[in-house]
C-alpha cells in the first residue's frame, strides 16, 4: 500500500529546469556548456563539486557564484559576474498547476505528501513562493538544511524516518533518473517525471496498484 508521495521540487512541481538555464544563457551570454565545464573543472581540481557543496549548505550562494564566475572568467577570457543568477533562474520557473491539482486529489484520498529537494539555502523563500507548501505538504527535506543531497542514501533514509513509514509504502517522484535510482535502492517506489501527460497517469496507476 502506498501511504505517502515524496516529490522533488524543480522540474516536477515547476516547469522544466532547462527553461531557467536557457534564460540564464540568453541573459548572460555565458554558454551552458561553459558553465557546466567550469563546475566540472573545479570538482576535478578540488575533489568535490562546488554545486554539491552549495546544495548541502557547506558554502554560501555568494561564494559559489564567485568561484564559478572566476573559473568562467579564466575560460572565456572576459570578466564573468554571476551575481543575479538566482533571480534569473527563478524568473524562468513556473508553477506546475496540474501537479498541484493531482496532489490535492491524493491528499483528499488520504495520501501523505512530502518534498525532498536538492536546493540552496538562500533560495528557500524563492522556491517556497512557487509552491503551496503549507497547504499540501506535511514534510520538507531540503538538502541545504539537512546537509545531504540526492542521490545520497542518507537523504532517503532521513525522509523515511521523518515520515515514520517503511520504504515500500512511499512513492518518490523526481525528474532526474539518478535520484529515482537512489530512491529505489532505498526500497522506495519511484517514477521519473517526464511531463504531466505521461507522469500524472503513472502516479495514479502506481498508487492504485499499491492498494
Summarize pLDDT for 15-26 with one digit per residue, the tens. 999 999 999 999
What mean pLDDT, rounded, does the chain reach? 96
Summarize pLDDT for 144-180 with one digit per residue, the tens. 999 999 999 999 999 999 999 999 999 999 999 999 9
Q: Looking at domain 4-16+94-210, what is its CATH homologous superfamily?
A: HAD superfamily/HAD-like (3.40.50.1000)
| Cβ 82 vs Cβ 24: under 8 Å | no
Residue position matching grid coordinates 536546493 = 119
Tell me what pLDDT residue 209 has: 85
CA distance 186 to 152: 10
Tell me what pLDDT residue 210 has: 67
CA distance 14 to 10: 5
CA distance 199 to 137: 19
Using H for helix, E for strand and C for coil, what is the string for 22-73? HHHHHHHCCCHHHHHHHHHHHHHHHCCCHHHHHHCCCCCHHHHHHHHHHHHH
pLDDT surpassing 60 at residue 211: no
Amino acid at each position: 500500500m502506498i501511504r505517502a508521495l515524496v516529490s522533488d521540487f524543480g522540474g516536477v512541481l515547476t516547469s522544466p529546469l532547462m527553461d531557467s538555464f536557457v534564460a540564464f544563457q540568453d541573459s548572460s551570454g555565458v554558454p551552458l556548456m561553459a558553465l557546466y565545464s567550469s563546475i566540472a573543472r573545479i570538482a576535478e581540481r578540488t575533489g568535490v563539486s562546488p554545486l554539491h557543496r552549495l546544495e548541502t549548505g557547506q558554502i554560501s550562494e555568494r561564494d559559489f557564484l564567485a568561484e564559478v564566475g572566476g573559473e568562467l572568467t579564466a575560460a572565456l577570457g572576459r570578466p564573468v559576474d554571476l551575481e543575479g543568477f538566482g533571480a534569473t533562474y527563478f524568473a524562468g520557473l513556473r508553477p506546475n498547476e496540474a501537479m498541484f491539482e493531482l496532489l490535492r486529489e491524493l491528499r483528499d484520498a488520504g495520501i501523505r505528501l512530502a518534498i525532498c529537494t536538492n536546493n540552496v539555502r538562500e533560495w528557500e523563500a524563492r522556491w517556497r513562493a512557487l509552491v503551496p507548501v503549507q497547504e499540501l505538504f506535511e514534510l520538507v527535506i531540503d538538502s541545504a538544511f539537512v546537509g545531504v543531497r540526492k542521490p545520497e542514501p542518507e537523504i532517503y533514509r532521513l525522509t523515511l524516518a521523518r515520515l515514520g513509514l517503511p520504504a515500500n509504502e512511499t512513492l518518490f517522484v523526481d525528474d532526474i533518473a539518478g535520484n529515482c535510482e537512489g530512491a529505489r535502492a532505498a526500497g522506495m517506489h519511484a517514477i521519473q517525471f517526464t511531463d504531466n501527460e505521461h507522469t500524472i497517469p503513472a502516479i495514479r496507476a502506481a498508487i492504485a496498484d499499491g492498494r
